[in-house]
Every structure is written in structure tokens, then in C-alpha cells.
């Protein structure tokens, strides 16, 4: 049964929305706007202003103006604002769940259990943590009185993708704000709604004008933000293609940058793994958020001796997965995020087939009754040679590619044979082996007997094509937004 919309969510997702600059809802100077769609129905929800360099300039100026006051507050004073924001986000959790599900096409049971509560917890985590950061660290030196002083950078720029708009927003901007920076955000133009709703609540709880600014726009607005001379620190989450461009720009301007990019996670399953538990989590890996998850397991590597048994168990679970509209509480997998992305996933799978992939479960266009215009695709499983495009590059849909291996060395070689380095998992009851393999898989994150493991305090990072410059969700993330400065005085 479809969840009925709360009054607040209903009104919000059907109201034309503008940029948020210096505390004001601001239209584009050009008057440009674009439509925002509901991927479950293919219908237009609302429209949002489309910004350009002009709005970016205004937003950066507003953030610069707000910086002196915000940065001079004590960490405890900023924490009060952030806890008030967390209170408001918790109070409006039901609205946020619906707004995020509607805009992204996420199964509401997942938004309810993961996206919104986990995002909200991030605000409290960094609000508490910042009160315990040593802002001055003395150095024990002969004949010099010296300390390292930590200060916020200034205006930080953030560019986000569409797959986890709410969590990625909070994981990234909250540590920056807690540290005393002010921010300019460019959300994905496809999924800006939860970001704008968070902004409404931030304003209601009194976060000062200009501390958080939002410019909605496409790549050109993102480019203007990353090139802006007043940006002191950049953070980009998205594809490696765009990440490289941002990295280049920041390199030229000598602006520190954090890049959180794509992945092609492997799950290495040994013959002594708990096959039922593994099958359930592998199926979930490609159906959760319709497989649009950067770190999820999409290269499944099964030991020869359990290949058939594990495939059978996983296929049975996948075939029982309920595909449907985001707001249906029975739905386990929603639509893909947009028509353009649906076409991209389809073409990617076609390319894999053309390169000779064996089709274990064929992807199909799906049309749930009453939702025939939504962007639904069934799960798929491919297998074959490791150089297939579907095994080497992100599909970013409900699909996995399966490989066989004979021994530990072969599994590790296969895992490390691609350029991504985001997250992999190893599945075995032999924890000595699991830990040994976990250490040798080259990535920011290695998980044991689980995939997609997130907790505040557990750093989530990337290497190689998956990113650089730090990660999220840990004390290090907060320190990333504090510039260390040495202060020293020779003693007579
Ligand atoms: P994308 O790179 O196409 O777009 C990301 C953002 O960059 C959007 O806001 C877009 O408007 C903007 N952009 C586009 N061109 C730009 C330019 N030239 N300059 C500045 N900004 C520009 O990515 P996407 O399709 O929105 O998201 C999917 C990708 O994000 C996947 O590769 C996925 O793996 C990755 N991702 C990574 C993480 C992580 O934590 N590592 C998390 C989520 C998603």
C-alpha cells in the first residue's frame, strides 16, 4: 500500500523551489528553472531554479560575509546550533523520508531505516566531537614556545551526486560547519529536494544567514563553484570523470580537495562462508537503492566449489525481491533515478552482452501496474571474462558480474585487477584468512562477512580511481576542515 504523503512533504515537493543564498530564497538571474521528476511515476513533481556562475558568485560572497561571525563562535556554541538542527531533522524525519523517497525513487522502508536516521545521527556525532578537538596543541621544544593552532579554512564548496542526496550532504557539510567554516552547496539538479528541506529547517532553528548556501544547477554551476577564487576548500562526490576535472581545477588553484568517486566493489566468497547469510547480503547489495551505490558489491567472486550453490541461493532471493514504487511499503527495490540513467544502465548492460558476457539473469524493463511510466528495471546477473566492460566499469544499477576463483592468490589478483579502490568484502568463517585477504585488497575499505558497513567513528575512504584527499564519518573528517597553523616564539 502506498504511504500517504504528510501535509508538509506534499506541499514541499509540489512547490517551485529557489536557490538559498545569504538567508534568502533567491531566483536565478536568468529566470531559468528545470523540472524535478518522480522516478516512480515519471511525472513532474515541481520545478527548481537553475543557477549559473552569477548565483555561485552571490552564494560565495554570502558565505564569505558570514564566515567571521560563525568561525569566532566557540565549538560548543556551534554545537548548540547543530543539535538544534538535529532536533528539527528528527522532528521532521517522516517528511524527510517521503521527500527523499519521492525524489530519488528510494524504497521507503530503506529511507526510513537508513537514509534519514543515519543522516541525522551524523549531525549529533560531529556536534559532540568538535567540542573535544584540541584547537591548540603545545610542542615540547627546547628554547621555543610553540603550538599548533587549528582554524577553519573559510568558504568551502560542496558538489553532490543524486544517489544519496541527504546522507552525502550531511556527511560532508556537517564536519565543515562544526569546524567553523561556511559552505556553498551544489546538489544534483535531479535530486535537490531533501537538501532544500534541510535548508528550510536550518533557517528555522536560527543557523545564521550565509552560513549555509545552496545553488541548484548542472555541471556549469558546479564548475563555477570549483573555480571560484574565494573557495578555500573543495569537496566533490560523484563520477571519476568529473572528479578528475575538479581535481585539475583545484590543483591549478592550489585549493585542497576531497574527491569521493565511483567504485566497483568485489565480494570474495570462500568455500567455508555462511552461504545463506552471504546470499542474502549479496542480493541486497544490488537491490538496495536499486544498485545505485558507489561502494556496493558488484563483482562477485565465488570459490569454484560453492559457485553453483551460492548462485542458486542468491538467485532465489533476487527473484523474490519486490520491485515497485518508492512509497509502497512492500517495495524492496524502487525505480532507477531518471530516464537518462535508465538508458545509461541499459546501454552498459547491452555493451557487456555484446562483449560476450554470459547472462544468468536477464535485465528486463518492468512496468508495475499503475506505474507504467516509471523507470523500473529488474535485477540482472552476468558472468564471464574479467575484462568485460560490466566487470570493469560501474553499471550503477541492479546488476552484478560473477567470477570464479580457485585459491586465495587468484581472488586477490582479480580484486586488484581494476583501477577503482573504494570497498571490497571477504566472506569466510576462517577469520585469520579473512583478515589476511582484507589487508591485501587495495581499497579504502575492506569488510569481513558483510558489505556496506557504515558507522560514525569508522573512517570511510577511497584510493586510486575512487578518490583522494580524505574520507568521511570519522574524527579525521573533522580535522580535514581545520587548517593547522604553527605559532612559535623563541625564548631568550
Ligand atoms: P556526476 O559526476 O555526473 O555528477 C556529480 C555532480 O557533479 C552533480 O552535481 C553534477 O551536476 C556535477 N557536475 C557535473 N559536471 C561538472 C563539472 N564539469 N564541474 C563541476 N561539477 C559538475 O555523478 P552522478 O552521476 O551524479 O553520480 C554517480 C557517481 O557518483 C558514481 O560514479 C558514484 O559511484 C559516485 N558516488 C561516489 C560516492 C563516494 O562516496 N565515493 C558516493 C555516491 C556517489
> How confident is the model over 336-377, as pLDDT tens digits?
999 999 999 999 999 999 999 999 999 999 999 999 999 999
Which one from 156, 250, 294, 390 is the annotated catalytic residue? 294
Q: What is the mean pLDDT of residues 306-319?
A: 98
As given in the structure block, the three cell numbers for residue 297 are 558489491
Q: How far is the CA of 268 from the centre of ligand 1 (A)?
A: 27
Q: How far is the CA of 3 from the centre of ligand 1 (A)?
A: 30
pLDDT recorded at residue 280: 98
pLDDT recorded at residue 3: 79
Answer yes or no: is pLDDT of 258 > 80. yes
- Confirm whether 476 is a catalytic residue: no
Q: How many angstroms separate the CA atoms of 25 and 55, rounded?
A: 12
Ligand 1 pocket by Cβ (under 6 Å): 159-164, 168, 186, 188-189, 218-219, 222-223, 226, 237-239, 242, 245-246, 260-263, 294, 394, 396, 422, 462, 467
In this structure, which residue's CA is closest to atom 34 in ligand 1?
A: 262
Q: What is the pLDDT of residues 37-53, one digit of tens each?
A: 999 999 999 999 999 99
Q: What is the pLDDT of residues 113-169, one digit of tens each?
A: 999 999 999 999 999 999 999 999 999 999 999 999 999 999 999 999 999 999 999
Q: Which atom of ligand 1 is nearest to the CA of 341?
A: 25
Residue 435 near residue 277, CB atoms below 8 Å:
no
In this structure, which residue's CA is closest to atom 9 in ligand 1?
A: 188
Q: How many angstroms separate the CA atoms of 121 and 79, rounded?
A: 13
Q: Which of 5, 170, 3 is nearest to 95 (CA)?
A: 5
Confidence of residue 492 (pLDDT cuts 50, 70, 90): confident
Sequence-ordered list of residues with C-beta below 8 angstroms from that of 49, at least 6 positions apart, any chain: 17, 18, 19, 26, 27, 28, 32, 33, 55, 216
Query: Among the residues of 228-328, which ranges form H helices?
Result: 240-253, 275-287, 307-319
- Confirm whether 294 is a catalytic residue: yes
Q: How far is the CA of 59 from the centre of ligand 1 (A)?
A: 21
Q: Best substitution site from 239, 285, 343 to test ligand 1's pocket, by max atoms within 8 Å of Cβ?
A: 239
pLDDT recorded at residue 6: 97
Q: What is the DSSP letter of 454?
A: -
Q: What is the pLDDT of residues 87-129, one digit of tens each?
A: 999 999 999 999 999 999 999 999 999 999 999 999 999 999 9
Q: Which atom of ligand 1 is nearest to the CA of 462?
A: 41
pLDDT recorded at residue 320: 97
Q: What is the mean pLDDT of residues 429-444?
A: 98
Strands 399-405 and 380-383, how do they pair? Answer: parallel
Q: What is the mean pLDDT of residues 224-232?
A: 98
**Quick check: helix, strand or coil at residue 385?**
coil
Q: Best substitution site from 238, 293, 344, 396 to test ligand 1's pocket, by max atoms within 8 Å of Cβ?
A: 238
Answer yes or no: is pLDDT of 2 > 90. no
Q: How far is the CA of 251 from the centre of ligand 1 (A)?
A: 19
Q: What is the mean pLDDT of residues 2-13?
A: 94
Q: How far is the CA of 237 from the centre of ligand 1 (A)?
A: 5
Answer yes or no: is pLDDT of 325 > 90. yes
Q: Which atom of ligand 1 is nearest to the CA of 186?
A: 9
Q: pTM above 0.95? A: yes
Which one from 260, 295, 391, 394 is the annotated catalytic residue? 260
pLDDT recorded at residue 163: 98
Q: How many angstroms separate the CA atoms of 368 and 363, rounded?
A: 15
- CB-based burial, 435-469: b 16+ in 10 Å, e otherwise: eebbebbebbbbbebebbeeebeeebbbebbbbbb
Q: Best substitution site from 161, 193, 474 to test ligand 1's pocket, by max atoms within 8 Å of Cβ?
A: 161
pLDDT recorded at residue 1: 76
Q: How far is the CA of 261 from the centre of ligand 1 (A)?
A: 7
Q: Which of 168, 151, 185, 179 is nearest to 63 (CA)?
A: 185
Q: Which atom of ligand 1 is nearest to the CA of 422?
A: 41
Q: How many angstroms separate the CA atoms of 349 and 377, rounded?
A: 12
pLDDT recorded at residue 378: 98
Q: Which of 190, 14, 158, 9 is nearest to 472 (CA)?
A: 158
In this structure, which residue's CA is closest to atom 15 in ligand 1?
A: 219
Q: How far is the CA of 480 from the centre of ligand 1 (A)?
A: 21
Q: Which atom of ligand 1 is nearest to the CA of 249?
A: 19
Q: What is the DSSP letter of 472?
A: B
Amino acid at each position: 500500500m502506498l504511504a500517504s504523503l504528510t501535509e508538509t512533504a506534499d506541499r514541499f515537493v509540489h512547490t517551485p523551489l529557489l536557490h538559498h543564498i545569504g538567508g534568502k530564497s533567491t531566483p536565478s538571474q536568468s529566470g531559468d528553472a528545470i523540472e524535478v521528476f518522480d522516478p516512480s511515476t515519471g511525472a513532474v513533481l515541481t520545478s527548481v531554479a537553475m543557477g549559473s556562475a552569477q548565483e555561485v558568485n552571490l552564494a560565495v560572497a554570502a558565505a564569505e560575509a558570514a564566515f567571521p561571525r560563525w568561525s569566532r563562535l566557540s565549538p560548543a556554541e556551534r554545537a548548540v546550533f547543530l543539535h538544534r538542527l538535529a532536533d528539527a531533522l528528527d522532528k521532521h524525519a517522516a517528511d524527510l523520508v517521503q521527500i527523499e523517497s519521492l525524489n530519488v525513487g528510494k524504497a521507503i522502508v530503506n529511507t526510513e531505516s537508513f537514509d534519514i536516521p543515519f543522516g541525522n545521527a551524523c549531525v549529533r556525532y560531529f556536534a559532540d566531537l568538535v567540542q573535544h578537538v584540541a584547537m591548540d596543541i603545545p610542542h615540547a621544544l627546547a628554547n621555543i614556545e610553540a603550538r599548533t593552532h587549528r582554524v577553519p579554512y573559510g568558504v568551502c564548496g560542496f558538489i553532490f551526486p543524486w544517489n544519496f542526496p541527504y546522507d552525502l550532504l550531511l556527511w560532508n557539510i556537517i564536519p565543515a560547519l562544526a569546524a567553523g567554516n561556511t559552505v556553498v552547496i551544489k546538489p544534483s539538479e535531479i535530486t535537490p529536494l531533501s537538501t532544500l528541506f534541510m535548508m528550510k529547517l536550518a533557517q528555522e532553528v536560527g543557523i545564521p544567514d550565509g552560513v549555509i548556501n545552496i545553488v541548484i544547477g548542472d555541471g556549469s554551476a558546479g564548475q563555477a563553484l570549483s573555480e571560484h577564487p574565494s573557495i578555500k576548500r573543495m569537496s566533490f562526490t560523484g563520477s571519476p570523470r568529473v572528479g578528475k576535472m575538479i581535481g585539475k581545477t583545484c590543483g591549478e588553484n592550489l585549493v585542497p580537495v576531497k574527491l569521493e568517486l565511483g567504485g566497483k566493489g568485489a565480494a570474495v566468497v570462500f568455500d567455508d562462508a555462511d552461504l545463506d547469510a552471504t546470499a542474502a547480503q549479496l542480493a541486497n547489495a544490488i537491490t538496495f537503492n536499486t544498485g545505485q551505490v558507489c561502494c556496493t558489491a558488484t563483482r562477485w567472486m565465488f570459490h569454484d566449489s560453492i559457485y553453483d550453490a551460492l548462485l542458486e541461493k542468491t538467485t532465489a532471493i533476487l527473484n523474490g525481491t519486490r520491485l515497485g514504487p518508492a512509497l509502497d511499503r512492500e517495495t524492496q527495490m524502487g525505480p532507477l533515478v531518471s530516464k537518462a540513467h535508465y538508458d545509461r544502465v541499459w546501454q552498459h548492460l547491452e555493451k557487456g552482452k555484446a562483449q560476450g558476457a554470459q547472462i544468468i539473469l536477464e535485465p528486463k524493463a518492468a512496468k508495475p501496474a499503475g506505474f507504467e511510466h516509471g523507470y523500473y528495471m529488474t535485477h540482472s546477473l552476468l558472468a564471464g571474462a574479467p575484462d568485460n566492460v560490466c566487470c570493469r566499469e560501474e553499471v550503477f544499477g541492479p546488476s552484478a558480474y560473477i567470477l570464479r576463483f580457485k585459491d586465495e592468490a587468484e581472488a586477490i589478483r582479480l580484486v586488484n585487477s581494476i583501477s577503482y579502490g573504494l570497498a571490497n568484502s571477504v566472506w569466510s568463517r576462517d577469520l585469520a584468512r579473512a583478515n589476511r585477504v582484507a589487508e591485501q585488497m587495495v581499497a579504502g575499505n575492506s569488510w569481513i562477512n558483510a558489505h556496506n558497513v557504515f558507522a560514525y567513528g569508522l573512517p570511510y575512504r577511497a584510493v586510486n580511481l575512487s578518490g583522494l584527499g580524505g574520507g568521511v564519518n570519522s574524527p579525521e573528517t573533522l580535522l580535514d576542515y581545520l587548517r593547522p597553523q604553527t605559532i612559535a616564539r623563541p625564548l631568550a
